Amino acid sequence: MTRAFAANLPRHVFFLVALVFLGDSSASEIGFSRIIRGWMNYSTAFTTTHDTSAGGEFATVATFYTPPYTVRALEFSAIMIWSEPPSQTIDFADFTFSVCVWSSLDRFIAEPRHGDLWDLAFAQPSARRIDTVTRGGRPAHEVRFALTNATVVLSNCHTYLIAVIARTDTQRNGELYVPTARTEGDSDAQAGNIVPFGWQYLIDAGGLTIYSGQAATELIVDRQGEPPRLQVARSNSTVRLSWQVSASCYGLEGTDDLGSSWVAVTNEPAIQTGWYSVSLPSTNQHRFFRLAR
């Protein structure tokens, strides 16, 4: 059974609009963030601890991440809650850590103890603090790991898994758990020798929670690439919209009014020489298009 710690945690085209991301290409930005600072209502957490004793149990909680453009990872953070009674004080020196990146869910399931793309060891977190105390009285530690000592470049529209692993003698020092947060989106995953069939999506992994299965983690990145751009070409009575196949995680949307909702263009794109393309009839009306994830 997956180990979940749930006790008391608490037509005629005149304009073309492309999806635009603000910020300088060299500036750091948030890749994803599920940490709600000061939030007390964590109700379920999943172990991300590996027992260092012979034949010890282990499990890793990993977050899915699909970059909208190529990025370099700068910092990974997680909320962690200790398994021992709140009356005791954790000593982080009893643990060592790794931040790992896997290239696919299959790779993560096959070997959750080490990332197949990247595995950076830390004797201690780069920074840590008690962010809050849960309604169950447990300190929620925000731990942060600087990733600048290694070059981790993540390609646009490829789905990775990223996780922090804590290693210790669990009989002496307890376990560290990463709670799920009040955020929407696809559930994260856990894998290890304590997990049924080797892996489990968190939303189905047991424990009592009213929130979705996304772990309270955060990734800061440095943009290395640019968002995809739409190309437009008119030919007789049609307009062709094109974008690169490498932007496979984007879809074409359109609207007749920028103040209205965007609607997915359901025409099946053709693929030719590395480009998606959609041909639409030209009309005498304004229509706007964009690429959106």
Better-predicted residue by pLDDT, 174 or 265? 174
Q: Check residue 259 and give its pLDDT.
A: 79
Residues 137 and 41 in one domain: yes
| Residue 16, domain member (yes or no) | no
Range of the domain at 243: 231-292
Q: What's the mean per-residue pLDDT of the chain?
A: 85
Residues 149 and 279 in one domain: no
Q: Of 205, 223, 241, which residue constitutes the final position of a domain?
A: 223
Number of compact structural domains in the chain: 2
Better-predicted residue by pLDDT, 75 or 150? 75
| Residue 235, domain member (yes or no) | yes
| Residue 17, domain member (yes or no) | no
Provide the Cα torsion 155, 156, 158, 163; round to 10°. Answer: 70
Q: Of 178, 206, 223, which residue constitutes the final position of a domain?
A: 223
Residues 50 and 80 in one domain: yes
58 torsion bin: left (phi>0), alpha (psi -120 to 50), beta (else): beta
Query: What DSSP designation does 268 have?
Result: P
pLDDT grade for 16, boundaries at 50, 70 and 90: very low
Residues 133 and 258 in one domain: no
13-22, 30-39, 278-287: segment of lowest average pLDDT? 13-22
Residues 207 and 76 in one domain: yes
Contact 289, 230 (CB under 8 A): yes
Distance CA 17, CA 134 (A): 45
Provide the Cα torsion 179, 28, 128, 170; round to 10°. Answer: 50
| Residue 276, domain member (yes or no) | yes
Residues 202 and 248 in one domain: no
Residues 139 and 210 in one domain: yes
Mean pLDDT confidence for 30-38: 94
Residues 85 and 186 in one domain: yes
Q: Of 223, 240, 271, which residue constitutes the final position of a domain?
A: 223
Contact 46, 177 (CB under 8 A): yes
Q: pTM for the full model?
A: 0.81
Q: Check residue 96 and give its pLDDT.
A: 98
Residues 219 and 235 in one domain: no
| Residue 41, domain member (yes or no) | yes
pLDDT digits (tens, 9 = 90+) for 54-86: 889 999 999 999 999 999 999 999 999 999 999
3-state DSSP helix/strand/coil percent for the chain, to nearest 5?
5, 45, 50
Residues 91 and 163 in one domain: yes
| Residue 68, domain member (yes or no) | yes
| Residue 92, domain member (yes or no) | yes
| Residue 186, domain member (yes or no) | yes
pLDDT grade for 11, boundaries at 50, 70 and 90: very low
Residues 61 and 139 in one domain: yes
pLDDT digits (tens, 9 = 90+) for 217-276: 999 999 987 877 888 888 778 888 887 777 777 888 888 888 788 988 888 888 888 878
pLDDT grade for 180, boundaries at 50, 70 and 90: very high
Q: Which of 201, 199, 231 is nearest to 215 (CA)?
A: 201
